[in-house]
Structure 1
């Protein structure tokens, strides 16, 4: 069902994360040069920042030398140089932050747009939300929250450090080799390798638990959304205690999962802090090689020696920090891996060919629409397959046996589901009635004609009060329609869409079950006057008054197809279907 999936996915940090990341990279840069531009700007400013960091790191040594020599003029020259240097360096730091956030915005726009194209293509959103019980959980959360966190971590936290690391490590490795030799470089590299191995061991569970936390967060959020959307029905059942117990139970799962994730973070953070701070001590230990073992600086005076010690310490510390920054990213990369796996599952799920096994109903019933104006009517006991029949006609479900022949293009069919759907987003009344057509800017004459048609339809369906409720067809509303309208009003508004679009055939799935029999009569007479053929499913006996043919669906695939006889005639023109 795609909301609270029953299958527990297993996430591990490994090559699968890398492979899935490469699957997402084309989507991150999809049809947008801006993402490439900001990636280049982020990389360029980060490199510039590192160049200035190298120069500013040597300023401390210069200060030591000038102070020990008591050279006031040189001191103030160094001070002025350092002031300008740090000003430009701070500017570059701000630019790195700015460009990385712009890169985040581009990444998120590109990835969300690409996922929307996948999600809303060929009713894929219906498949993973309504049919695939063994599918991915909370696809809405993956597209909204998981994508946001993925793009944030990747663009703002990881890429600025990761992209420049090879250049920085290469440069400071050369500087360390020049002063401390292979021994100094070997000590630092061994220090990093040990840290990387330990981080690899600790990060893998973090990826798994980060993904589990996101699933639990999605389940908890979905529970409260469900309570909000069904508050009235729940209140009628006096189910407050049940809802509280159920919500607490789901939150307990979230709390326990989050607790495990936090506990797994502790050893990783402890290791991270150790490698961050111990690097300073190690940098001075490496000074043993040029000073005590190699005697490189035996001929320097005290002031020059202090400058060399300061500069070398900076080189060693910066090389160590370049490595520890990579290990520091381990927690972020572990968390990122969980988001990559969750988001990429939408992509991979859409690529899989799915067969929907449904034996509820398959039959050949549309033949009679060819060249005829008969109206058809489907009735059956609950659970016999009426909704399944409608889903097959709508091509939401495949017909595994039998044949469905359609003699009209898909655009000539209109489906009205049993449960009225009023899209959220505080839409105007015009947008609700025109749904699923997107209301765009139109010429004033066309808008006036459409406004007149909509007003007439609302009058015929006794919905003119809606114009007063929202202050006009195009007025902005501060409410959601499904929270404001009664079930009967929602069904009549759904039927108003049919009259406005005027399809050749409309298929009604118990679309008048919540309105009274007088309004039901007005609806069917209006459909007949408009020349709209209709197929209805329902339980009401009053539906016999508006149909010529009956398809009765019984349990165990028992069906009957008969003509409805009677002497009632619609008071309409001769070319409209009549019942004899």
Structure 2
């Protein structure tokens, strides 16, 4: 006790202003540390010193970390306020544009997104903030370039794992672990990744929370002992420690939830970025997925729902399952070691035997939540997609008065969705009854039994030869053991609950894995459009792999037996088809539906790489003289004429490389990507974009301004296509910045003229027009084709209207009956004879008009008599 008196004497400091808390607190901590390490101090004094020391250290760290973070945020916001005030003081132009993103040479991007945290975080300086609200707050975000090597490497991993089929997708099957291990390489790409740090911090806080729970349990027993012993000073002292330790305990619980949420968001960012880089790649995976017949699940049918909802659910479920498993496991380890000293090894073994028996029983009654969750997600996607289809086609449905039919279909999909959701609830009902009875009540009752074993075995009560001190000790041990047993039971129950969560996680994992596997399969350079190798034929039509002896699912086809054997020549100064069979992509591959046989044509008819006659005017972008474009010789033009479903639009699909060339002798020669524009039948308009965005599509606004283009060029182009009246809807040229749903604002003819405006803006050497003027009046159609000739474009027109012959040099007629084609040069004797024969047929019909009118009058007289 001498050391206690000496330390107490040292702690009696005179009351001066200089002896503040910052001097007293370190001295107190050194005193407590000396008491803890001293061999002379034993019993309750040493334990209380430990309690006080731990409570002070943890509370001080919590306060310091919170203060440091608050100071950092305050300095950051003041710095932002200072920069914004300086921006307001600087003179600026009336019109100033800032780029929303910057594309670097490495492929990385720097994006500037709105930052609302600054304006929401400060309430003072209202006069300054009222000015700052007029300034767009931007936050700079750096996005790394896409790592295509990793995507190519991962394609083999997903393909290998996908081939290992399993009947069920539960925890104890390898399919779940294989799928999860493949996805973890995306969620946590490297050991030093930010998500690895967050994962390590979460584990550290989980261990700290378990240790704090053990510390609080012992402190709880000490407080109960103080109450029973009637020691108010010790009770108040322990209560003070209780409130001190509550601060780091609360901080720890909040930190675990925050880290779990941040890790889930980071997982979602990594996974979504990974999917977007493949799905929205230049290989046009978003379109070619239509031909991936190897996977008929609802994941690809409702891919929009899979990319948004399934990815979010998977990330949330992954982080939740990790926390729900890690915390109980850590509790079981810590509490078991502590309870072994009080209950003995046999008691701890009995506890774990109880857990294993309970787990076996609950496992046998666990419903297949993975399949049920997957089915519910599929029904949710169907219901969502049908509403989306209803929104996109609302006008057409209103014209047809199809409300009753659509209501029936929507109600049917909704009933299916509710049935799937109720099925999950019904399957959980019996399981929840057994689960609550075992986990809440049976385990709690057994907890009382195990906690009372030491007291019953020792018989330490006053009536049995004990004393008041032993009774207090037994009460304290019972309280501590009871609290730990209840915590242990709670840990076991959470661990059992996590089995149910894992069952749901398997459903989300399977859907996300299926999605990424399909994306890799379609993204591959060897994607075969869902073709089956048993239909491979040679050029003569004989089957080379036809018998059942060889599987149609060979992983590597023999040399020379690829499904797609055509050749594509790029950077050609024209468009050339040589012996191409136009075939609809299907599982039959080359044996599929053939629309055109051995198609061969070329535009221009004579290729002169160095000749200016094959080039359209490319000088509008220089803005030197946009009103008088230079003439550099006429361009070539081809009209593809035929009836419906004869394969006209399929030619454009082959030129755009979204349809394959199956036959070996088929050759497609096409210009570079920047020199070719394909205009589809249905004009496309970006969602909620400006009018400028529609005119320059697919160029982005940032590229437009970075390249030095001005709005004056767009105004000139609008005048060229007779759409300058659109600018009069707003003062000046501000209508170019108007955001609207242009698909509904513009008429059919205006949409098609916007397509011609895009052609004038991008100035490609070759243009493919598919029914590009079927909604335009005859006079405007004549003007637009003359405009193409004025600017010397080489263009191909796909149509079923013979009246367009006069605007073209070459005619390609396609017959749907015998899959044949006929190519002729307009202006030749053959073409003139063809036109003369058509004119003579029309003259013959006109001469018969009078006889038809006489027959009509006779029929009217007969009707009057009747």
Q: Note whether the superposition's TM-score is higher than 0.5.
A: yes
Aligned to 2:593: 359
| Counterpart selection for 2:475 from 298, 306, 314 | 306
- Is 1:23 the equivalent of 2:182? yes
**Residue 161 of structure 1: SS of its match in structure 2?**
helix
Aligned to 2:681: 418
Aligned to 1:458: 718
| Alpha-carbon distance between aligned partners in 2 of 1:197 and 1:495, rounded to the nearest angstrom | 70
Cα drift, residue 196 of structure 1 = 2.8
**Residue 58 of structure 1: SS of its match in structure 2?**
helix
| Alpha-carbon distance between aligned partners in 1 of 2:238 and 2:669, rounded to the nearest angstrom | 85
Cα drift, residue 475 of structure 1 = 5.9
**Larger CA Rg, structure 1 vs 2:** 2
| Alpha-carbon distance between aligned partners in 2 of 1:442 and 1:151, rounded to the nearest angstrom | 37
Cα drift, residue 270 of structure 1 = 2.7
Superposition pairs for residues 64-463 of structure 1, below 5 Å? 64-121=224-281, 122-129=283-290, 132=293, 134=296, 136-155=300-319, 157-203=320-366, 205-278=368-441, 279-293=443-457, 301-352=470-521, 353-355=527-529, 356-357=585-586, 358-361=592-595, 363-365=598-600, 367-369=602-604, 370-371=607-608, 373-401=635-663, 402-424=665-687, 426-440=688-702, 447=708, 449-463=709-723
Cα drift, residue 414 of structure 1 = 1.1
| Alpha-carbon distance between aligned partners in 1 of 2:364 and 2:255, rounded to the nearest angstrom | 35
Q: Is the 8 A contact 1:414 1:503 kept in 2?
A: yes
Change (3 A) 1:439 1:174: same
| Alpha-carbon distance between aligned partners in 2 of 1:503 and 1:520, rounded to the nearest angstrom | 20
**Residue 701 of structure 2: SS of its match in structure 1?**
coil
What stretches of structure 2 of length at least 5 have no aligned partner?
1-165, 522-526, 530-584, 587-591, 609-613, 615-634, 830-866
The one-character-per-residue Cα deviations of 1:305-327 (angstroms, maximum 9, x if unpaired) are 01101111122222222221121
**Residue 35 of structure 1: SS of its match in structure 2?**
helix
| Alpha-carbon distance between aligned partners in 1 of 2:727 and 2:460, rounded to the nearest angstrom | 89
| Alpha-carbon distance between aligned partners in 2 of 1:551 and 1:92, rounded to the nearest angstrom | 75
| Alpha-carbon distance between aligned partners in 1 of 2:358 and 2:667, rounded to the nearest angstrom | 64
User: Structure 2 length normalisation: TM-score?
Assistant: 0.60
**Residue 415 of structure 1: SS of its match in structure 2?**
strand
Change (3 A) 1:453 1:477: closer
Aligned to 2:78: none
Cα drift, residue 240 of structure 1 = 0.9
- Is 1:528 the equivalent of 2:689? no
The one-character-per-residue Cα deviations of 1:456-500 (angstroms, maximum 9, x if unpaired) are 111111222433447746865453221222222222222322221
Change (3 A) 1:518 1:442: closer
Q: Is the 8 A contact 2:642 2:813 kept in 1?
A: yes
Aligned to 1:574: none
| Alpha-carbon distance between aligned partners in 2 of 1:211 and 1:478, rounded to the nearest angstrom | 38
| Alpha-carbon distance between aligned partners in 2 of 1:565 and 1:199, rounded to the nearest angstrom | 85
Cα drift, residue 226 of structure 1 = 0.6
| Alpha-carbon distance between aligned partners in 2 of 1:84 and 1:438, rounded to the nearest angstrom | 57
Change (3 A) 1:335 1:464: farther
| Alpha-carbon distance between aligned partners in 1 of 2:210 and 2:674, rounded to the nearest angstrom | 59
Cα drift, residue 294 of structure 1 = 6.7
User: Structure 1 length normalisation: TM-score?
Assistant: 0.88
More displaced stretch, 199-208 vs 222-231: 199-208
Aligned to 2:216: 56
Structure 1 runs (4+) greater than 6 angstroms displaced: 294-300
| Alpha-carbon distance between aligned partners in 1 of 2:367 and 2:752, rounded to the nearest angstrom | 51
Change (3 A) 1:211 1:354: farther
Superposition pairs for residues 503-542 of structure 1, below 5 Å? 503-542=764-803
Cα drift, residue 202 of structure 1 = 4.7
**Residue 228 of structure 1: SS of its match in structure 2?**
helix
Aligned residues: 555
Change (3 A) 1:304 1:293: closer
- Is 1:493 the equivalent of 2:654? no
| Alpha-carbon distance between aligned partners in 2 of 1:272 and 1:490, rounded to the nearest angstrom | 62
Q: Is the 8 A contact 2:655 2:670 kept in 1?
A: no
Cα drift, residue 389 of structure 1 = 2.0
More displaced stretch, 231-240 vs 253-262: 253-262
| Alpha-carbon distance between aligned partners in 2 of 1:296 and 1:367, rounded to the nearest angstrom | 105
Change (3 A) 1:197 1:439: farther
The one-character-per-residue Cα deviations of 1:251-302 (angstroms, maximum 9, x if unpaired) are 2221222221221222333343234312221211113542334769997611
Cα drift, residue 84 of structure 1 = 1.1
Q: Is the 8 A contact 1:429 1:473 kept in 2?
A: no
**Residue 677 of structure 2: SS of its match in structure 1?**
strand
Q: Is the 8 A contact 1:142 1:342 kept in 2?
A: yes
Change (3 A) 1:26 1:470: farther
How much is the aligned-residue C-alpha RMSD, in angstroms? 2.7
| Counterpart selection for 1:34 from 182, 189, 194 | 194
Change (3 A) 1:461 1:263: same
**Residue 301 of structure 2: SS of its match in structure 1?**
coil
Change (3 A) 1:466 1:41: farther
**Residue 550 of structure 1: SS of its match in structure 2?**
strand
The one-character-per-residue Cα deviations of 1:321-360 (angstroms, maximum 9, x if unpaired) are 2221121223332222222111111111123344343534
Cα drift, residue 70 of structure 1 = 0.6
**Residue 542 of structure 1: SS of its match in structure 2?**
helix
Q: Is the 8 A contact 1:364 1:404 kept in 2?
A: no
**Residue 455 of structure 1: SS of its match in structure 2?**
helix
| Alpha-carbon distance between aligned partners in 1 of 2:200 and 2:735, rounded to the nearest angstrom | 44
**Residue 796 of structure 2: SS of its match in structure 1?**
strand
Change (3 A) 1:540 1:79: same
Aligned to 1:570: none
Change (3 A) 1:475 1:53: farther
What stretches of structure 1 of length at least 5 have no aligned partner?
1-8, 568-580
| Alpha-carbon distance between aligned partners in 2 of 1:467 and 1:203, rounded to the nearest angstrom | 65
Change (3 A) 1:182 1:111: same
Q: Is the 8 A contact 1:30 1:114 kept in 2?
A: no
Cα drift, residue 170 of structure 1 = 1.5
Q: Is the 8 A contact 1:366 1:405 kept in 2?
A: no
Cα drift, residue 245 of structure 1 = 1.1
The one-character-per-residue Cα deviations of 1:86-119 (angstroms, maximum 9, x if unpaired) are 1221122112222222222211111111110121
